[in-house]
Amino acid sequence: MTPIRKRKRDLVKWIPIYLSVLFIAFVSLFAIDAKSISDLFMNLFPSYVVMVTTIISWFLPVIGGHLFIGLGAAYAVAGWGQFNIKLALLLIIGPLFLIGILFIFQAIRK
């Protein structure tokens, strides 16, 4: 295998992981305004769920990809009437769908 192909394969493997870590950091920003420890844990719960899904996806990309797509769909259903601006909803579900598709693509490329 040529070094360029190896680098490309490694890039396909690591991009969804990097994106999921960035998404975890983005979602965790909403916990900054927590007034108590219980509020902090409540606001960080989505980050914990995405973190566990990322770890699963690292070892089982097909299952993890479907989990990410499922998380995006669940958030879309739960938050459909909550936002006046649909762009706010898209900022959360868009990256989840993208990461899920990238993990599935990674598994297909193996």
pLDDT of 89 reads 82
pLDDT of 52 reads 97
pLDDT of 1 reads 60
At residue 16, the 3 state secondary structure works out as: helix
Q: Which two tokens stand for residue 37?
A: 């420890």
Per-residue pLDDT of the chain (110 residues; tens, 9 = 90+): 666 666 767 788 899 999 999 999 999 998 888 889 998 999 999 999 999 999 999 999 999 999 999 999 999 888 887 767 778 788 889 999 999 999 999 998 87
pTM above 0.85, yes or no: yes
At residue 14, the 3 state secondary structure works out as: helix
pLDDT of 62 reads 96
Q: Which two tokens stand for residue 87?
A: 């762009």
- d(CA 21, CA 54) in angstroms, rounded, equals 8
pLDDT of 4 reads 65
At residue 110, the 3 state secondary structure works out as: coil
Amino acid type, 88? A
Which phi and psi (to 5°) does residue 11 adopt?
-65, -40
Angle, to 10 degrees, between the axis of helix 86-109 and the axis of helix 3-28?
Answer: 150
